[in-house]
Amino acid sequence: MKKRNLSIKIISRILIFCIGLGTIIFSIYYYYTRAAIQESTRENAVILAENTINQIEEVIEPAEKLPENLAWIIETGVIPKDSLQYFLAQLVKNNPAIYASAIAFEPHIFSENTPAYAPYAFRNGARINTIDLWSPDYNYFIMDWYQIPAILQQPYWSEPYYDEGGAEALLSTYSVPFFMSKEGQQVLGGIITIDISLDWLTEIVNSVKIFDTGYAFLLSRNGVYVTHPNHSQIMNESIFTQAKEMEQPEMREIGRNMIKGQSNLTSLNLKDKGKVWIYYAPIQSTKWSLGVVYPHNEMFESLQNLNIIILLLAFAGLGLLLFFTIKIINQQISPLAKFADSARTIAEGNFNTRLPNAGNSKEMKELHDSFEFMQKELDNYIVNLKETTSAKEKIESELRIAKEIQMGMIPRIFPPFPNLKEIDLFASLESAKEVGGDLYDFFLLDEEHLCFAIGDVSGKGIPASLFMAVTRTLLRSVADNKKSTAEIVGSINKTLSFNNESNMFVTFFLGILEITTGRLRFCNAGHNPPILIKNKTEANFFNITKGIPVGLFEDFNYSEEVVQIEAGDQLFLYTDGLTEAEDKNNKLFEDNHLLDIIRQYAESVPKEIIEKVTKEVSLHVNGHIQSDDLTMMSIIYYGTKK
Amino acid sequence: MEITSQKTDDGIIIFVKGRIDTTNYNEFENAVNDIFKDDVSQIYLDCSALNYISSSGLRVFLTIQKKMMGTGGKFKLFAMQPSIKEIFDISGFSSIFSIYADFETAKQN
């Protein structure tokens, strides 16, 4: 699961990055390509227009030469006047572009008695016919083709016109005035014309194609369409009428500039075609103007095709990138999943599980080494742990046995003397550790004497327990009814003090109770003074004596004291584990507290009293760890009456 | 527990603060053993800040006492809190140790 998440994470980031980068690169590329296309299209359009104009000029220029040469011939009188008709016919015949040609003389120029003469040669199918244009119905002097160049005294190209019933073609007439000398003066001799078919012009202009619908058109000096892809407009519409029809004032502006002979590249929003670009330039000789139009959108059509190809390639590239990235990542990450499995296996305790192949990446090898190191360390650790644990277990089991032995040394059967009606006795010992340094003991010296003792060895644990065992053994061996308690304690002290380098000591209380009389002899060697409960109501500590703990100074003189116990009195003995029992704030149980509790349960029998005090102590410590051994012993004297 | 010591003209004063119990009596014993490395004729133990002493601690006191007795020196305790004094009284140690009310009295005796 983790593995997949990681690879998805990496892949998605790479993908986002690539898409982002691709988009930026593509945008930049698109922007510059568009600009370049626009620029090159512009240049192409200009070049195309210029070429077309040149082509037109190439046809027009030689055509213009013909009437000019003719004018020179007539002016110089090289050709006899009677052969002019023939000459014209030959001229038309030899120039396929020329449909007809005329020489229209001013009155009385051809001859004194000729008011009007205009020989005219024209094509009639394959033949060339010649006629005189002049007739009463056709007064050529008032025709535009005659009048305008005559007045301007300059060559003049007529507006193109469709010659119906004659040439059945689009024609334009080029008129050139010629001059004669008459009475020493240069006067206008007449007008020479050639009618040129403009079909070639249409062909040239129509051959201009830009993109799908781009085209060229030619305007006459009045703005009339001379050529246009839409044939119905030729000679029928002008750019101005069209502008009005289409309600495109900008178009009129363009038309105006065109007939003024200007050239420019401009854009125009056509209502039907959208944005188009138009370049126009004049044809100087005829004062016509050529326009090249191409739609803006088509300019980028090739780019759009290219874009689709690029996008397809980009997607294919991304797909491939994705495929290989997934493959590589999975290949690189797959050891991780295997390592995870290994970690689990190791965690289950199989430290020697075989580690997966790390592959050849440095990081995986490091991981592999770390795993190997962990395995080895774990293995060592477990071996050590096992050794320590088994050693510890051994000690613990030894300690358990020691405890059993120690506990075996103190009497633990209650009531201890069921046949002895005069006394009842109960005792308890709780070690803070497995073995402890507290002890109690009681036994009958004879039928009338109960010997009992309680003691507390300094320190705790094994050393204390050994000392305790020695003390208890010594007690049993030296206790004798014939000796005083002080003598017995002194004897134990002597033995224990001998070679006691460690300065261990035992606080010790020894008592011998005469069952028949209630007389209690005792010797206290630095032990906590016991409590005497009198009349089941009053409870008080024994007086503190001068006795020091046994084991310290071998020559110390202990003293015996005697107290009379009455029937019903109870003797409560304890070690400092009771009065110094601490709660978690190190607050001690305290002597007075003990005394209060004893007084409260003064009527209870030994077992009850010890149980109550035990309960109070556990309430006081409230779960705090028991710091010292806790020993209690209580003896009630019923007396002989019972 | 904190132990500090200070030399005087005739010996050394040990100041013990806190408790001496089963968990730290070793520390106390080691500190005392360090002091014994030099010869000292008088050891004064300031008990004014000693709050509690267990039997393990008392054993160390006894060791000091015995050592000092062996070399003819003196081990003097002073300014003991009542609860500590009670422990000394109950155990009969009051009769073994020299206990004084304050340093001045300890020094004079």
Going from N- to C-terminal start, the domains of chain A cover 15-199, 214-293, 410-637
A-interface mutation test, from B62, B69, B86, B93, most A Cβ less than 10 A away: B62
By three-state DSSP, how is residue A56 classified? helix
Q: Give the per-residue pLDDT at A519.
A: 95
pLDDT tens track for A57-76: 888 888 888 888 888 888 88
* Tens digit of each residue's pLDDT (9 = 90 or more) over A198-213: 888 888 888 888 888 8
**Predicted pLDDT of residue A126:** 85
Contact B54 A546 (CB under 8 A): no
State whether residue A266 is helix, strand or coil. Answer: strand
User: pLDDT for A459-489, tens place per residue?
Assistant: 888 888 889 999 999 999 999 888 999 999 9
pLDDT band per the 50, 70, 90 thresholds, residue A1: very low
Q: How far is A456 from chain B (nearest CA, A)?
A: 9
- Chain segment A563-586, per-residue pLDDT in tens: 999 999 999 999 988 888 888 888
pLDDT mean over A500-516: 92
User: A125-129 long-range CB contacts below 8 Å, 24 or more apart?
Assistant: A128/A89, A128/A92, A128/A93
Q: Is B93 exposed, middle or buried (0-12, 13-18, 19+ CB in 10 A)?
A: buried
Q: What's the average model confidence in pLDDT over A237-247?
A: 90
For residues A520 and A510, give the distance between their C-alpha atoms in angstroms, rounded to a whole number.
10
Q: Hey, what are A176's tokens?
A: 């050139």
In contact, A196 and A209? CB cutoff 8 Å: no
Question: Is B66 an interface residue toward A (CB < 8 Å)?
Answer: yes
Residue type, B53: I
Please tell me whether residue A616 adopts helix, strand or coil conformation: helix
Nearest 5 degrees, angle CA A198-CA A196-CA A239? 40
The residue-averaged pLDDT of A588-601 equals 90
Q: What percentage of chain B reaches a pLDDT higher than 90?
A: 30
Of A544, A541, A542, A543, which is closest to residue A526 (Cα–Cα)?
Answer: A544
End-to-end, the C-alpha distance of chain B in Å comes to: 29
pLDDT at A642: 46
Q: Which amino acid, residue B89?
A: D
> Across residues A319-326, what is the average pLDDT?
88
Report yes or no: A527 at the B interface, CB cutoff 8 Å.
yes
Task: Identify whether the C-beta of residue A275 lies closer than 8 Å to the C-beta of residue A296.
Answer: yes
**Contact list, A458 vs chain B (CB under 8 Å):** 55-56, 58-59
pLDDT in tens, A357-401: 777 778 888 888 888 888 888 888 989 999 999 999 998 888 888
**According to DSSP H, which parts of B1-109 are helical?**
25-36, 55-71, 82-90, 103-108
Gap between the Cα atoms of A571 and A425, Å rounded: 9
Q: Which residue has the higher pLDDT, A233 or A6?
A: A233
Omega cis (within 30) before A67:
no
Angle formed at CA A470 by CA A464 and CA A474, multiple of 5 degrees:
145
**Mean pLDDT in residue range A155-173:** 83
Measured CA to CA, the distance from residue A355 to residue A339 in angstroms comes to 7
Best CATH choice for the domain A410-637 from the list 3.60.40.10, 3.40.630.30, 3.10.20.30, 3.40.50.300: 3.60.40.10
Residue A641: per-residue pLDDT: 63
Helix (H) or strand (E) holding B17: strand B12-20
Residue A590 has pLDDT above 50, yes or no: yes
Please state which of the four CATH numbers 3.90.420.10, 1.10.1060.10, 3.50.50.60, 3.30.450.20 is assigned to the domain occupying A15-199: 3.30.450.20
DSSP A411: -
Record: contact B91-A527, CB cut-off 8 A: yes
- Say how far apart CA A314 and CA A316 lie, in whole Å: 5
The tokens of A396 are what?
């613990």
Both structure tokens of A479: 């206790």
* Cβ–Cβ contact B63 with A under 8 A: yes
Question: CB contact, 8 Å: A431 with chain B?
Answer: no
Check pLDDT > 60 for residue A3.
no
Determine the residue of chain A that is closest to B95 in CA distance: A546
Extract the runs of DSSP E, i.e. beta strands, from A95-235.
98-105, 119-124, 127-132, 156-157, 161-162, 170-182, 185-197, 215-219, 225-227
Pick from A303, A308, A271: nearest CA to A41 = A303
Contact A136, A129 (CB under 8 A): no
Instruction: Please tell me whether residue A553 adopts helix, strand or coil conformation.
Output: coil
Nearest Cα residue to A509 out of A458, A561, A555, A553: A561
Q: What percent of chain B has pLDDT over 70?
A: 100
Cβ <8 Å between A507 and B55: yes
> What is the fold of A214-293?
Beta-Lactamase (3.30.450)
| Stretch (H or E) spanning A571 | strand A570-574
Question: Contacts of residue A576 in chain B, CB cutoff 8 Å?
Answer: 55, 87
- Please answer yes or no on whether A526 and B90 come within 8 Å at the CB atom: yes
Residue-level pLDDT at A341: 85
Using the Cβ of A526 and the Cβ atoms of chain B, whether some distance falls under 8 Å is answered with yes
Distance from CA of B22 to the nearest CA of A (A): 7
A290 by Cβ neighbours in 10 Å (0-12 / 13-18 / 19+) ranks as buried
Domain B2-108 in this protein, CATH class:
alpha beta
Average pLDDT, chain A: 88
Confidence of residue A4 (pLDDT cuts 50, 70, 90): low
pLDDT digits (tens, 9 = 90+) for B19-29: 888 788 888 88
Lowest mean pLDDT among A464-468, A637-641, B61-65: A637-641
Highest mean pLDDT: which of A81-90, A424-433, A449-458?
A449-458
Chain B: nearest CA to A517, how far in angstroms? Answer: 29
**Matching fold, domains A15-199 and A214-293:** yes
Q: Is the pLDDT of residue A28 over 90?
A: yes
Give pLDDT, residue A262.
93
Of A296 and A183, more confident: A296
Residue A477: predicted pLDDT? 93
Closest Cβ–Cβ partner in A458, A526, A580 for B56: A458
Determine what percent of chain A is predicted with pLDDT higher than 70.
Answer: 99
Is the interface score ipTM higher than 0.90? Answer: no
| Whether the predicted pLDDT of A84 surpasses 90 | no
Which has more confidence, A3 or A181? A181
Is A459's CB within 8 Å of B56's CB? yes
Query: What's the pLDDT at B101?
Result: 92
Nearest-CB residue to B92 (from A456, A458, A545) = A545
* pLDDT above 90: percentage of residues in chain A: 39
In the DSSP assignment, the letter for residue A238 is B
Q: Over 80: is that where the pLDDT of A267 sits? A: yes
Within a 13 Å sphere around the CA of A140, how many CA atoms are in the beta-carbon half? 25
Which chain B residue lies closest to A628 (C-alpha atoms)? B22
> Cα–Cα distance between B107 and B109 in angstroms, integer?
6
Phi, psi (degrees; rounded to nearest 5) at A348: -75, -10
